[in-house]
Chain A
Amino acid sequence: ETGVTQSPTHLIKTRGQQVTLRCSSQSGHNTVSWYQQALGQGPQFIFRYYREEENGRGNFPPRFSGLQFPNYSSELNVNALELDDSALYLCASSLYINEKLFFGSGTQLSVL
């Protein structure tokens, strides 16, 4: 059984650019959630995908968007990057909605 894997591990972008982060779910999990964790803070919910449909969204602007693929892997896209987008982006998979979350190690995004 493989865990949640995220790529890349680190990324440096400049303000205004676009970025795509990738996540492979734990085997058998059909739900993927994305969280933003600023330095020294707890994770903040961005959105969740269940069977390829967005199933919930936190207080993030539309420039944060995502996809879930038939194999349940997922992407997080952020357009028009801002300095405040610098954070650790965590992907978490679960077997069903509101069940135990299994997190990946995250992608550390720095926006300069």
Chain B
Amino acid sequence: QQQVKQSPQSLIVQKGGISIINCAYENTAFDYFPWYQQFPGKGPALLIAIRPDVSEKKEGRFTISFNKSAKQFSLHIMDSQPGDSATYFCAASPAGNQFYFGTGTSLTVIP
């Protein structure tokens, strides 16, 4: 059973546009929600993370929106650039336990 459901599977965005990736979870014990970026041949790299006591966190062009009641969180990439083309994974973890990853979204930003 997939603990974290991620959509869409793939996404194509024009340069300068907004990329939006969504994730949903069921386990209310999750208390840490990171997003990872992975380029081909590399391991995932932490992009941004949020805890459920806030509804939004912004770092540069990357924003996480968090809806605790709906058990959903999303990644917004503003002013998307070709260099953002990568696979993005959401993840969730309950305190002191393992990380559960979504199935990934392949983002392509067209120049």
Among B42, B49, B98, B102: residue with most chain A CB under 10 A = B98
A contacts with B, residue count (CB < 8 A)? 23
Pick from A35, A41, A45, A98: contact of B32, CB below 8 A: A98
B100 contacts the other chain (CB 8 A): yes
B12 contacts the other chain (CB 8 A): no
Pick from A41, A102, A103: contact of B103, CB below 8 A: A41
Q: Do residues A106 and B43 form an inter-chain contact, with CB atoms below 8 A?
A: yes
The interface stretch among B64-72, B78-86, B88-96 is: B88-96
A102 to B42, CA, bound (A): 12
B contacts with A, residue count (CB < 8 A)? 25
Q: List 26 A-B contacts (CB under 8 A).
A: A4-B43, A35-B101, A40-B104, A41-B103, A41-B104, A42-B89, A42-B102, A43-B89, A43-B101, A45-B99, A45-B100, A56-B98, A90-B43, A98-B96, A98-B97, A100-B34, A100-B46, A100-B49, A101-B34, A101-B44, A101-B46, A103-B43, A103-B44, A105-B41, A105-B42, A105-B43
Further 10 A-B residue pairs, CB within 8 A, beyond A43-B44, A98-B32, A106-B42: A42-B89, A42-B101, A42-B102, A45-B99, A92-B43, A97-B96, A100-B34, A103-B36, A103-B45, A105-B42
